[in-house]
């Protein structure tokens, strides 16, 4: 399948659509259980279950955010190098990380012009992606 603006977002079914909701539902259920057990013998167990679900939610969040930060750093470096090869200059410092991530989908022919347009018109990442005429897919981002 060819990647384009409409289908470039990546959702992993087991992670985003199964594990995320299960953790959220389990946490809500554990809070209800904790409330119901307040003042009786099961309060300690209920609090441990709530704590475990809270730890699971933190793991879910950081398991996704840490690799994305590392990939963002790699993308910034790659796109800066690509811009340098095409123009002899580094990427403008006015670009945000979101803009740079969006620009990675632009082919070499469109890239320098789109960089200048993104800076001058302060385009957000969605507008940058929509302005790309010939989408350059990125199948490696997690």
Q: Taken in order 123, 68, 5, 82, is the CA torsion positive or negative?
A: positive
Question: What's the pLDDT score for residue 1?
Answer: 64
| 3-34 confidence digits (pLDDT tens) | 777 667 777 889 999 999 999 999 999 999 99
For residue 66, the tally of other CB atoms under 10 A from its CB is: 10
Q: Determine if the pTM surpasses 0.85.
A: no
- 91 closest CA partner among 110, 118, 65, 109: 118
Question: What's the pLDDT score for residue 7?
Answer: 65
Question: What's the pLDDT score for residue 9?
Answer: 73
Q: Which residues of the chain have pLDDT under 50?
A: none
Question: What's the pLDDT score for residue 106?
Answer: 95
SS3 77: helix
Residues 47, 76 contacting (CB under 8 angstroms) = no
């Amino acid at each position: 399948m060819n990647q384009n603006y409409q289908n470039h977002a990546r959702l992993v079914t087991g992670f985003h659509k199964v594990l995320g909701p299960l953790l959220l539902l389990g946490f809500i259920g554990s809070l209800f259980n904790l409330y119901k057990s307040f003042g009786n013998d099961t309060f300690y167990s209920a609090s441990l279950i709530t704590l475990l679900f809270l730890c699971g939610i933190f793991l879910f969040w950081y398991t996704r955010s840490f690799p994305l930060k590392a990939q963002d750093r790699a993308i910034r470096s790659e796109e800066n190098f690509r811009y340098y090869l095409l123009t002899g200059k580094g990427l403008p410092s006015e670009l945000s990380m979101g803009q740079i991530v969006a620009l990675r989908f632009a082919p070499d022919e469109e890239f320098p012009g789109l960089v200048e347009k993104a800076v001058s018109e302060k385009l957000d990442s969605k507008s940058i992606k929509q302005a790309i005429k010939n989408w350059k897919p990125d199948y490696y981002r997690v």
